[in-house]
Amino acid sequence: MKKTLALFDFDGTITSKDTLFEIAKFSTSKTLYWVKILSLLPIFFLMKIGIIPKSKGKETFLWVFFHGLNEETFNALCFEFCLEKLPMLLRPKAINKISELQKKNTDIYIVSASPQNWIIPWAKQLNINVLSTQLDFSNSSFTGKIKNENVNYEEKVKIIQRNIDLSQYNEILAFGDTKGDIPMLNLASSSHFRPFE
């Protein structure tokens, strides 16, 4: 029996904006948001010129905005973000494609570098699986660190291969929008780069 797997990047593919910055805005006042962003400009510059890896830059960003936040409080914030803000960021063409694939009984996974905390609450509503970056909590408080690996570039392929038996699929579709998605797109039998813009 023929089975199809669909792999979707999240930020920029399903959404129109980077949700890391959007949830940071959502979590604080406009003034404090820009104060924190300005403090991060040296980090952004060092990432741009390749002095520090993107994963370390992301950890610094997360630490500045969410360090020490209680896990329950953080997850409640993420849930609220999914209810109030995320619907306005979704690309209609992407949602239509997901709906179309679900009608064909396609197995759908979101594979994202963004933390699962603000993807899973939304994805659960649509019965979509999530393979995504995990955050590190110690004594129920966010350490500001990523747990294991940042799910981007080759890490996308690794987490797919660890969690999905690809041999059971006759067709693998992949949808992405950045260089970080290329390894996942190369894994697929049918790849789609920026198809919903």
User: Does the reported pTM lie above 0.75?
Assistant: yes
Question: Which residue carries 């899973």 as its tokens?
Answer: 120
Q: Which residues contact 32 (CB under 8 A, 6 or more apart)?
A: none
The pLDDT profile of the chain, 197 residues, written as one tens digit per residue, is 679 999 999 999 999 999 999 999 999 999 999 999 999 999 999 999 999 998 999 999 999 999 999 999 999 999 999 999 999 999 999 999 999 999 999 999 999 999 999 999 999 999 999 999 999 999 999 999 999 999 999 999 999 999 999 999 999 999 999 999 999 999 999 999 999 99
**Phi, psi angles (nearest 5°) of residue 109:** -130, 135
Domains of the chain: 4-193 (3.40.50.1000)
